[in-house]
Amino acid sequence: MAVATKNDGKKWIQTSVAIVCIILGYVCLSFFETLSEWFDLEAVIPNFQWVAQALAIAIGLTTFLIIVNKDKTSAFLKEVYSETDKVVWPDKQQTARMTVGIMIGVSIAGAIFWIFDILAGTGLSFIR
């Protein structure tokens, strides 16, 4: 098993922040397209698609730079990374046992609700 170094944490933090900012850019682009449909902005703004894409990229990039350069935010993300590094993950056998246990529990709860639904439906049919 490889030992994580200090720089690995910084790489993971920056990578996760970059992924979130890419998703933010995509959401902004979808929002701008929706606004375009609502208000017919393509007729008002020339090259609206280019403007919307540039604006979405600028929002994502600006968000990334703000998050990475703020000391308070960086310290918080480093703490989060160090805490997740301390987590003891279950092995494959424990995961399989817990999954089977959850499936059995959900099946029992579903059967109880199904029986209750049948009884309630039968009781309500007598009321009509």
pLDDT tens string 63-108: 999 999 999 998 999 999 999 889 998 999 999 999 999 999 999 9
Residues 74, 68 contacting (CB under 8 angstroms) = yes
Mark whether 6 and 59 lie in a shared domain.
Answer: yes
Mark whether 128 and 83 lie in a shared domain.
Answer: no
pLDDT tens string 23-76: 999 999 999 999 999 999 999 999 999 999 999 999 999 999 999 999 999 899
Mark whether 65 and 118 lie in a shared domain.
Answer: no
Number of domains forming the structure of the chain: 2
Mark whether 105 and 71 lie in a shared domain.
Answer: no
Q: Indicate if the alpha-carbon torsion angle 106, 109, 111, 117 is positive or negative.
A: negative
* Banded model confidence at residue 6, pLDDT cuts 50, 70, 90: low
